[in-house]
Chain A
Amino acid sequence: MHRITKITGYVAIILVVLSFNFFLPRLMPGDPLSFLTGAPGMDMPIVLDEETRAKLLTYYGLDKPLSQQFYDYMLGILHGDLGWSIYHNAPVSDILIGALKWTFLLVGTSTALYMVLGILLGAISAWNRGGKSDVGLLVSLLSIGSFPPFFLGMLFIILFSVKLNLFPAFGAQTPFMEYSSLLEEASDILYHLFLPVTTLVISHIGGVYLLMRNSMLNVIGEDYILTARAKGMAEWYIMRKHATKNALLPIITMIALRTGFMIGGTILVETVFAYPGVGRLLFDAVMYRDYPLLQGAFLIITLVIIAANFVADMVYVQLDPRLKHD
Chain B
Amino acid sequence: MTEIKDLNRFWNAYKESRLGLIGLVILLFFVTLAVFAPYIAPYDPHEMFKPMEHPSSDHLLGTNDIGQDILSELIYGARVSLFIAFFVSVVSGIIGTAFGLLSGYFEMFGFFLMRIVDAFLAIPRLPLIIVIAAFMRPSIWNLIFIFIILGWPITTRIIRSEVLSLRTRNYVEAARMVGAPDTYILMKHILPNVFPLLVVRLIIEASHVIIAESSLSFLGLGDPVVKSWGMILHYAFVYPTIFISDLWMWWMLPAGLCITLTILSLTFIGYALEELVNPRLRGMTRI
Interface of A toward B, CB cutoff 8 Å: 9, 12-13, 16-17, 20, 24-25, 28-29, 35, 43, 129-130, 134-135, 138-139, 142-143, 145-151, 154-155, 157-158, 161-162, 169, 210, 214, 217-218, 221, 257, 260-261, 263-264, 267-268, 271-272, 282-283, 285-287, 289, 294-295, 297-298, 301-302, 305-306, 309
Contact with A along B106-123 (1 / 0, CB 8 A): 000000000100110111
- Do A298 and B127 have beta carbons less than 8 Å apart? yes
Q: Residue on B with the closest CB to A297?
A: B127
**Whole-angstrom distance from the CB of A191 to the nearest CB of chain B?**
19
Across-interface contacts of B278 in A (CB, < 8 A)? 214
* Cβ distance A89 to chain B, nearest Cβ, rounded Å: 20
Q: Report yes or no: A218 in contact with B211, Cβ–Cβ below 8 A.
A: no
Instruction: Give the contacting residue for B256; candidates A154, A257, A285, A305; CB below 8 A.
Output: A154
Residue of A nearest to B221 (CB): A286
Most A-side CB within 10 Å, residue of B121, B219, B278, B283: B219
Q: Which of B132, B215, B280, B287 contacts A268 (CB 8 A)?
A: B215
A-B interface contact total, Cβ < 8 Å: 139
A154-B237, A268-B219 as given contacts; A28 in contact with B135, CB under 8 Å: yes
Q: Classify the interface of chain B: helix, strand, loop or mixed.
A: helix
A157 to B268: give the CA distance in the assembly, Å.
Answer: 28
- Contact between B271 and A306 (Cβ–Cβ < 8 Å)? no
Extra inter-chain contacts (8) besides given A29-B136, A138-B287, A305-B124, CB under 8 Å: A16-B122, A24-B131, A130-B284, A150-B233, A263-B127, A264-B212, A267-B130, A298-B131
Across-interface contacts of B259 in A (CB, < 8 A): 148, 151
Known: A146-B263, A148-B214, A157-B243. A25 touches B135 (CB 8 A): yes
Query: Which of B127, B132, B212, B237 gathers the greatest number of chain A CB atoms within 10 Å?
Result: B127
Q: In the complex, A68→B50 CA distance in Å?
A: 58
Interface: B175 (CB within 8 A): no
Residues of A within 8 A of B127 (CB): 263-264, 267, 282, 297-298, 301-302
Asked whether B125 is an interface residue with its Cβ less than 8 Å from the other chain, the reply is yes
Would you call A294 and B134 a contact (CB within 8 A)?
yes
Which has the most chain B C-beta neighbours within 10 Å: A24, A150, A157, A218? A150
Q: Report the Cα distance A35→B287, complex, angstroms.
A: 54
Nearest neighbor of B134 in chain A, beta-carbon distance: A286
CB-based contact B260/A217 at 8 Å = no
Asked if residues B252 and A154 are in contact (CB atoms below 8 Å), the reply is yes
Q: Which residue of chain A has the shortest Cβ distance to B133 in the bound complex?
A: A286
Instruction: Please determine whether B243 and A162 come into contact, CB atoms closer than 8 angstroms.
Output: yes
Report the Cα distance A296→B252, complex, angstroms.
33
What's the tally of chain B residues with a CB closer than 8 Å to chain A? 50
A301 adjacent to B124 (CB under 8 Å):
yes
Q: Which residues of B contact A145 (CB under 8 A)?
A: 267
CA separation between A287 and B119, bound complex, in Å?
27
Instruction: Identify B219's interface contact among A142, A162, A283, A305, CB under 8 A.
Output: A283
Min CB gap B251→A, angstroms: 11
Q: Are B283 and A142 in contact (CB under 8 A)?
A: no
Given contacts A142-B267, A151-B260, contact A217 B124 (CB under 8 A): no
Q: With the chains together, A229 CA to B263 CA distance in Å?
A: 40
| A51 CB to nearest B CB, Å | 24
Residues of A within 8 A of B212 (CB): 264
List the 3 closest A-B pairs by CB distance, nearest first: A264-B126, A130-B285, A146-B264
Q: Given A17-B123, A263-B124, A298-B131, verify A129-B260 contact (CB < 8 Å).
A: no
Q: How far is the CA of A182 from the CA of B128 in the complex (A)?
A: 38
Q: B83 near A: Cβ within 8 Å?
A: no
The 8 Å CB contact of A13, one of B119, B126, B281, is: B119
Q: Is the C-beta of B248 less than 8 angstroms from some C-beta in chain A?
A: yes
Q: Which of B62-104 contact A (CB under 8 A)?
A: none
In the assembled complex, B19 has its CB within 8 A of some CB on chain A: yes
A294 proximity list for chain B (CB < 8 A): 131, 134
Known: A218-B280, A282-B127. A13 touches B221 (CB 8 A): no
On chain A, the residues within 8 Å of B131 by CB distance are: 24, 282, 286, 294-295, 298
For A28, give the chain B residue with the smallest CB separation.
B135
As a 0/1 sequence over residues 1 to 26 of chain B, the CB contacts with chain A under 8 angstroms (1 = contact) are: 00000000000000000010000000
Contacts of A142 in B (CB 8 A): 19, 264, 267-268, 271
Question: What is the CB-to-nearest-CB distance from B21 to chain A, in angstroms, rounded to a whole number?
Answer: 13
- CB-defined A-B contacts under 8 Å, sample of 14: A28-B135, A130-B287, A145-B267, A147-B260, A148-B260, A149-B215, A150-B237, A217-B281, A263-B126, A271-B219, A298-B127, A298-B128, A301-B124, A301-B127
